[in-house]
Copies of this chain bind each other. A is one copy, B any other.
Amino acid sequence: MTVTVAVDAMGGDHGPAVTVAACLAFLRAQADAAVILVGREEILQAELARAGAKPSDRIRVLHAEELVGMDEAPALALKHKKNSSMRLAINQVKSGEAQCCVSAGNTGALMATAKFVLKTLPGIDRPAIATTLPTQSGHTYVLDLGANVDCTAEHLLQFGIMGAILASAVDRKERPSVGLLNIGHEEIKGGEVVRQAGELLRQAPINFHGNVEGDDVYHGTVDVVVCDGFVGNVALKTSEGLARMIAAILKEEFSRSWLTRLLGLVAMPVLKAIRHRLDGRRYNGASLLGLRGIVVKSHGSADVFAFQCALDVAYHEASSGILARITEDIAAAGAAVGS
């Protein structure tokens, strides 16, 4: 079956210059995929022509007059931008024209609009934002990354179940392990909400590992790390900052003199391999989990390669049928924890 991805082609810092090229690369890589490019028709047609492509049954253009600004308040975008490229892309998922959608636009507006249009799955109070982060030998799913600043223990339980299903569906892992992000491994650690969440997760029908600490994320101790959106967002952005600083220090030290520049040239194959493994673009594409539809958020600054990675995330989620599985497992967990 063809997986059709609705793409908010106007979103992100670079708009169609990036999104259209990424969609064409994505279609070359995934033979059973199709794309609906949503945005200003004349711009998108021009961008397709520039790339030597034209609309076909695998890539078509859906005109959207408006555009949600990167700094626009989510509530205002929801109320006043009913013909935005973001809104129409999500509508495609709602109507069944597409099996998933991807946007590099304003995160708050995307979450608000997706929640309004698609609604949450039964048993889910709040959608969460999930992404993968690299470990030495694979990756870890982390959620929530900023959709929910204040979470109850039940929300964290739901995140744990959704994360486990995501890991199991996309990576075909049986019984992926779930850890609760805390400041110590002992059950008594953390505040009230986190301790309660630990109790709920222990009773849930998932492979709950117990508490994990910040360093466990990159160690790959568990397949899924659960936390509230404030903590997850800080951990993610702190990591981005540290990685950027380390990259800058590497660059600075290798360009200190003609000798170090020469050493850098000599060591280039190894430095390239290292850069590839640490390339954050490969981890682009965060899932808005818990909605009645698949919505993936790309980093606003994504380039063609990074945006293509986000398209892949949406494609793999749609192919693996995660929506039905989340619904089933949340119902089972609800029965198990008696909620």
A214 contacts B235, CB within 8 Å? yes
- Residue of B231, B237, B248, B278 near A215 (CB, 8 A) is B237
B253 contacts A270, CB within 8 Å? yes
A238 contacts B238, CB within 8 Å? yes
Main SS of the interface on chain A?
helix
B238 contacts A253, CB within 8 Å? no
A250 contacts B274, CB within 8 Å? yes
B242 contacts A234, CB within 8 Å? no
| A236 and B253 alpha carbons, distance in the complex (Å) | 25
A213, A246, A266, A278, most chain B CB atoms within 10 A: A246
Residue A149 is within 8 A (CB to CB) of chain B in the complex:
yes
A235 CB to closest chain B CB (Å) equals: 5
Residue A134 is within 8 A (CB to CB) of chain B in the complex:
yes
| A219 and B244 alpha carbons, distance in the complex (Å) | 9
A265 CB to closest chain B CB (Å) equals: 10
A260 contacts B264, CB within 8 Å? no
| A249 and B137 alpha carbons, distance in the complex (Å) | 10
A59 CB to closest chain B CB (Å) equals: 35
Interface residues of A in 100-128 (CB under 8 A from B): none
- Residue of B230, B244, B269 near A183 (CB, 8 A) is B230
A243 contacts B241, CB within 8 Å? no
Residue A324 is within 8 A (CB to CB) of chain B in the complex:
no
| A270 and B259 alpha carbons, distance in the complex (Å) | 10
B214 contacts A181, CB within 8 Å? no
| A150 and B193 alpha carbons, distance in the complex (Å) | 10
Q: What B residues does A273 contact at CB under 8 A?
A: 253, 256
**Number of identical protomers:** 2
Q: What B residues does A270 contact at CB under 8 A?
A: 253-254, 256, 260, 263-264
A91 CB to closest chain B CB (Å) equals: 27
If A260-B269, A263-B267, A267-B266 touch, whether A214 touches B241 (CB-CB below 8 Å) is: yes
Residue A162 is within 8 A (CB to CB) of chain B in the complex:
no
If A190-B149, A233-B183 touch, whether A246 touches B214 (CB-CB below 8 Å) is: no
A209 CB to closest chain B CB (Å) equals: 16
A216 contacts B241, CB within 8 Å? yes
B243 contacts A246, CB within 8 Å? yes
A150 contacts B191, CB within 8 Å? yes
26 A-B pairs within 8 Å (CB atoms) are namely: A134-B245, A136-B245, A136-B249, A146-B183, A181-B234, A183-B237, A190-B230, A214-B235, A214-B236, A215-B241, A218-B238, A219-B245, A227-B234, A231-B234, A234-B235, A235-B238, A238-B238, A238-B239, A239-B242, A242-B243, A250-B274, A253-B273, A253-B274, A253-B277, A264-B267, A267-B267
Further pairs besides A183-B233, A214-B236, A238-B239: 9, Cβ < 8 Å? A149-B183, A183-B230, A227-B234, A231-B234, A242-B242, A253-B274, A260-B269, A263-B266, A263-B269
